[in-house]
C-alpha cells in the first residue's frame, strides 16, 4: 500500500484496505467456507489419518530429485509410496499428507480403463496440448523452450518396451487454470516438472512430479458456467468473484503434485491413477486454501481426465490429427472463429445469473468477449472446441471437417442443455 502524504492524511483506498485486512479474520474464512463442499460435494473427515512416514520419505526424495537435476536416482527409495499406490485398495481421501511448501495436501485414487501406453500417447504427445487431458482444471498449458522433454528424439512411450532401468526427463511448463470452485479466480504460473518411467513389481509405472516455480500472476475473475461441459468465463478483470472480498489481489503462492499411473493389467486396459497434491493460495501472503478446496479441484480433474481417456469415440491417433488441423489454422482463421465464438457465447450464456453482473455483461456484450482473449487464449478456445466436437459434446463453433463433429453453430446456440 502507498501512503499519499505524510501529514497524517491517508488515501481513502488505503483506509479501506486497512479496514478490510483487519476484517479478514472474520470475513475471509466464512467466505471460503460457505461453499465448503464445492461443486463436487466434497466430504472429508475432520480428523484425517496421517500419511505413513515412510511414504513421506519417498515424497521427500522425489522433490529432492526434481530440485537437483544432477542427483543420482535410486528407485528403491520410492518403494513405500509405490506399494501404497500399486497395492492399496482403500480410498485414501481421509489420509492427510504433511504440509509442504506452506500448503495443505490431499490424496486421490481412481481406476482408469486404459493401458499406460495409451495414457502416455495422450499426455506426452507433442502434438496434443496437455491441458486438453484435464480441461476442467486447465485452460492452457505448454512446455517452455529449452525443456529437456522437448529435445527427446523419440516419444516417451517408446521406452515402455525396455525399462531395465528408470527413464527420467524434465523441463519447465506454464499453466493457466480454469476458475476454481470457491472464489472462481484463475491464475497463470510456471512449473518445474520431472517425469520418471520405471518398473515396480513387474508393472509399468509413470510418475510426474511438479513444483510451482514462483508466485502466480494476480488472480482474475472468472465463472464456472457448466463444469461437466467445460464451459467457463474469463473476464480479464483482476480480483475474485466473491462478494465483499472480490477486489482483493489473490495469488497462487505455491503448488506441488506427484501424479502416478500404475499399469495394473495391460491386456485388460486397467490402470490406477494416484495424485498427491498441495496448494497454498490467498492474499497478503496468507493461505486460505483448505483440504476440501484442493480435493474438489482434483475430483474435477479426475472427471475430465477419465472422460477423455475412456471415450469410445476417440483414440490418440485421431486426437493428434484433430489437434494438428487446429495448429495449421492461420491467424485470420483463428480470429474469424473467435469472433463467431464470442457472439455465440453471448447468445448462449447472457442470461446465466453469473454473467448478469454489470462488469461481466459489459465484457460479453455485442461479441465483445473476443476483445479479452489474447493469442494464447484464442488458440486454447479453438483446441477445446475441437476436442468437444470429437467427443460429441456441444460446441459453440464448428472447427472440424471430421465426421465425429456433432454440432454446428446454430445447433449449439439453440440447445437447452
Q: Which of the two residues, 88 and 243, has the higher pLDDT score?
A: 88
Q: What is the pLDDT of residue 3?
A: 31
Spatial distance between the Cα atoms of 206 and 85, rounded to a whole number of angstroms: 12
Q: What is the pLDDT of residue 182?
A: 85
**Residue percentage of the chain with pLDDT more than 90:** 81
Class of domain 36-310: alpha beta
Q: What is the pLDDT of residue 36?
A: 52
- The pTM of the full predicted model, rounded to 2 decimals, is 0.87
Q: Where are the alpha helices (DSSP H) in 68-213?
A: 79-87, 116-123
Q: What is the pLDDT of residue 38?
A: 72
Q: What is the pLDDT of residue 18?
A: 34
CA torsion, ordered 59, 64, 69, 72, to nearest 10 deg: -80
pLDDT tens digits along 261-311: 999 999 999 999 999 999 999 999 999 999 999 999 999 999 999 999 999
Q: What is the pLDDT of residue 300?
A: 97
Nearby residues of 112 by Cβ (< 8 Å), 6 or more positions away:
119, 261, 270, 271, 272, 273, 305, 306, 309, 310
Nearest partner of 134 among 382, 301, 315, 261, judged by Cα = 301
Q: Which of the two residues, 2 and 56, has the higher pLDDT score?
A: 56
What cell was used for 399?
472447427
How is the chain split into domains, by residue range? 1-34, 36-310, 325-414
Does the pLDDT of residue 327 top 60, yes or no? yes
- Place 243 in a pLDDT band, splitting at 50, 70 and 90: low
Q: What is the pLDDT of residue 248?
A: 78
- Range 331-339 contact pairs with CB under 8 angstroms and sequence separation of 24 or more: 331/375, 334/378, 334/379, 334/382, 335/378, 337/381, 337/382, 337/385, 337/397, 337/399, 338/370, 338/373, 338/378, 338/381, 338/382, 339/367, 339/370
Q: Helix, strand, or coil here: 391?
A: coil
Q: CA triplet 360, 362, 367: central angle to 5 degrees?
A: 105
Amino acid at each position: 500500500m502507498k501512503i499519499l502524504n505524510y501529514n497524517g492524511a491517508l488515501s481513502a483506498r488505503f483506509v479501506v484496505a486497512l479496514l478490510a485486512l483487519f476484517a479478514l479474520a472474520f470475513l475471509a474464512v466464512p467466505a471460503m467456507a460457505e461453499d465448503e463442499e464445492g461443486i463436487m460435494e466434497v466430504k472429508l473427515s475432520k480428523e484425517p489419518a496421517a500419511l505413513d512416514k515412510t511414504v513421506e520419505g519417498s515424497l521427500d526424495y522425489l522433490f529432492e530429485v526434481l530440485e537437483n537435476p544432477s542427483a543420482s536416482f535410486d528407485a528403491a527409495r520410492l518403494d513405500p509410496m509405490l506399494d501404497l499406490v500399486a497395492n492399496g485398495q482403500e480410498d485414501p481421501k481421509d489420509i492427510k499428507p504433511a504440509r509442504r511448501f506452506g500448503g495443505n495436501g490431499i490424496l486421490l485414487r481412481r481406476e482408469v480403463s486404459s493401458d499406460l501406453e495409451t495414457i502416455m500417447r495422450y499426455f506426452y504427445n507433442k502434438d496434443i496440448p496437455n491441458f486438453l487431458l484435464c480441461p476442467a482444471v486447465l485452460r492452457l498449458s505448454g512446455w517452455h523452450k529449452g525443456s529437456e522433454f522437448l529435445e527427446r528424439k523419440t516419444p516417451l512411450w517408446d521406452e515402455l518396451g525396455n525399462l531395465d532401468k528408470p527413464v527420467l526427463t524434465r523441463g519447465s511448463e506454464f499453466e493457466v487454470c480454469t476458475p476454481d470452485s470457491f472464489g472462481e479466480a484463475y491464475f497463470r504460473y510456471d512449473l518445474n516438472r520431472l517425469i520418471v518411467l520405471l518398473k515396480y513389481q513387474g508393472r509399468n509405472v509413470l510418475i510426474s512430479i511438479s513444483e510451482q516455480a514462483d508466485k502466480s500472476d494476480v488472480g482474475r475473475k472468472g465463472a464456472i458456467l457448466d463444469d461437466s461441459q467445460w464451459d467457463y468465463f474469463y473476464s480479464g478483470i483482476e480480483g475474485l468473484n466473491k462478494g465483499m472480498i472480490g477486489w482483493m489481489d489473490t495469488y497462487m503462492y505455491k503448488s506441488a503434485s506427484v501424479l502416478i499411473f500404475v499399469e495394473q493389467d495391460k491386456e485388460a486396459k486397467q490402470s490406477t491413477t494416484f495424485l498427491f497434491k498441495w496448494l497454498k493460495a490467498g492474499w497478503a501472503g496468507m493461505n486460505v486454501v483448505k483440504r476440501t478446496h484442493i480435493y474438489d479441484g482434483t475430483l474435477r480433474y479426475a472427471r475430465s481426465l477419465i472422460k477423455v481417456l475412456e471415450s469410445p469415440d476417440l483414440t490418440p491417433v485421431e486426437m493428434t490429427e484433430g489437434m494438428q488441423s487446429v495448429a495449421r489454422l492461420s491467424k485470420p482463421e483463428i480470429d474469424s472463429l473467435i469472433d463467431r465464438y464470442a457472439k455465440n457465447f453471448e447468445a448462449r450464456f447472457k442470461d446465466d445469473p453469473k454473467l448478469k453482473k454489470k462488469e461481466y455483461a459489459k465484457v460479453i456484450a455485442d461479441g465483445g468477449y473476443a476483445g479479452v482473449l489474447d493469442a494464447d487464449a484464442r488458440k486454447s478456445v479453438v483446441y477445446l472446441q475441437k476436442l468437444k466436437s470429437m467427443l460429441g459434446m456441444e460446441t459453440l463453433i464448428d472447427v472440424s471437417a471430421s465426421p465425429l463433429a456433432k454440432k454446428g453453430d446454430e445447433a449449439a446456440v439453440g440447445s437447452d442443455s
